[in-house]
Amino acid sequence: MTEHLVFLDRSTLQATVRRPAFDHTWTEFAATSPEQTVERLRDATIVLTNKAPLRAEVLAQLPKLKLIAVAATGYDVIDVAACRERGIAVANIRNYAVHTVPEHVFALILALRRSLFAYRADVERGRWQQAEQFCFFDHPIRDLHGSTLGLFGGGALGEGTATLARAFGMRVLYAERASGPSASAGRTPVDQVLAESDVISLHCPLTPATRHLIGPEQLRKMKRSAILINTARGGLVDEQALVTALKEGWIAGAGFDVLTTEPPKNGNPLLDLRLPNFILTPHVAWASSGAMQILADQLIDNIERFIHGTPQHLVT
């Protein structure tokens, strides 16, 4: 049987994508709008997607579809319940960004803890040239050694971040999960993590239980000297509350790689911040060249394993 594969948003992956080793046709599009999805997938048996959504009303019109291969770890763009009802398998990518995301996390942490952007701006404004001595101390500089990292979410990315933290001499706390047992093994109560951490880094999937995991109440429980890092999903944080927290000094800074809606064509409160203690990058923590190639290879591995009857990385 010939499988019909369609990649809905090929431009989201800058890597070589090999063709599967079975009889198939292959069609790819740089991007696909919601209005184009059904027509493009009408004959597809396998769809590859990164961020192009596949909701229940679309899936209902695709009776030939049997596998959705997600070119990412997060799969909140897929209606998993509808797939389960229709017998459509969903496979995602695992453990491909175990170095690139933690490294990005620590790039943000180091820049914020050492006030790099504030000092760079001072130099550009001529502040150093006017100083009365060889240096100046306008912004706080804090070491990582001896400080505490609080992790919300474990998994490969959380563990990778913890490994780097320990190499810097940091103490690591794992927060109890948003859902599940009230006292998860080896984890610390959320309020204690908020109160004791100098850095909090989020590595959770976006689910109903984790949406706005960090809001005004949680931000007020953090140290005023603490920073918040989010390289996971924008919806984990109440973004308007974060704006207030940064402007009013509830916390010392934040580094984000994600927003609730991406791309933020209709604006976002974090886009308007012009603060030296806030860094926003455009969802690129995952996107080192090496990580993207690992992702591309695993994407096709997932498809081949499914067709050969030995599926891997299924979420449903």
Q: Which residues of the chain have pLDDT under 50?
A: none
In tens, the pLDDT along 166-193 reads: 999 999 999 998 665 555 668 999 999 9
Q: Is 203 a catalytic residue?
A: no
- CA separation for the pair 80, 29 (Å, rounded): 23
Catalytic residue among 24, 283, 304, 305: 283
| pLDDT given at position 276 | 93
| pLDDT given at position 180 | 57
- CATH architecture group of domain 3-95+290-307: 3-Layer(aba) Sandwich (3.40)
Q: Which residues pair with 151 in a beta bridge?
A: 174, 201
- CA separation for the pair 59, 86 (Å, rounded): 8
Q: Is 171 a catalytic residue?
A: no
Catalytic residue among 4, 233, 239, 313: 233
Distances in Å between the alpha carbon of 220 and those of 69, 152, 188, 246?
A: 40, 17, 18, 11
Q: Does domain 100-280 have CATH number 3.30.1490.20?
A: no
Q: What is the 3-state secondary structure (H, E, C) of the chain?
A: CCEEEEECCHHHCCCCCCCCCCCEEEEECCCCCHHHHHHHCCCCCEEEECCCCECHHHHCCCCCCCEEEECCCCCCCECHHHHHHHCCEEECCCCCCCCHHHHHHHHHHHHHHCCHHHHHHHHHCCCCCCCCCCCCCCCCCCCCCCCEEEEECCHHHHHHHHHHHHHCCCEEEEECCCCCCCCCCCCECHHHHHHHCCEEEECCCCCCCCCCCECHHHHHHCCCCCEEEECCCHHHECHHHHHHHHHHCCCCEEEECCCCCCCCCCCCHHHHCCCCCEEECCCCCCCCHHHHHHHHHHHHHHHHHHHCCCCCCECC
| pLDDT given at position 179 | 62
In tens, the pLDDT along 85-124 reads: 999 999 999 999 999 999 999 999 999 999 999 999 999 9
Judge whether 3-95+290-307 and 100-280 match in fold.
Answer: yes
Q: Is 124 a catalytic residue?
A: no
Torsion angles phi and psi, residue 188, rounded to 5: -110, 140
- Indicate the domain borders of the chain: 3-95+290-307, 100-280
| pLDDT given at position 154 | 82
Distances in Å between the alpha carbon of 304 and those of 10, 203, 308?
A: 18, 29, 6
Residue type, 65: L
- CA separation for the pair 99, 287 (Å, rounded): 11
Dmax over CA atoms of the chain, in Å, equals 78
| pLDDT given at position 186 | 81
β 3-7/46-49 pair status: parallel
pTM, full prediction: 0.89
Torsion angles phi and psi, residue 270, rounded to 5: -75, -25
Catalytic residue among 84, 127, 262, 308: 262
| pLDDT given at position 247 | 97
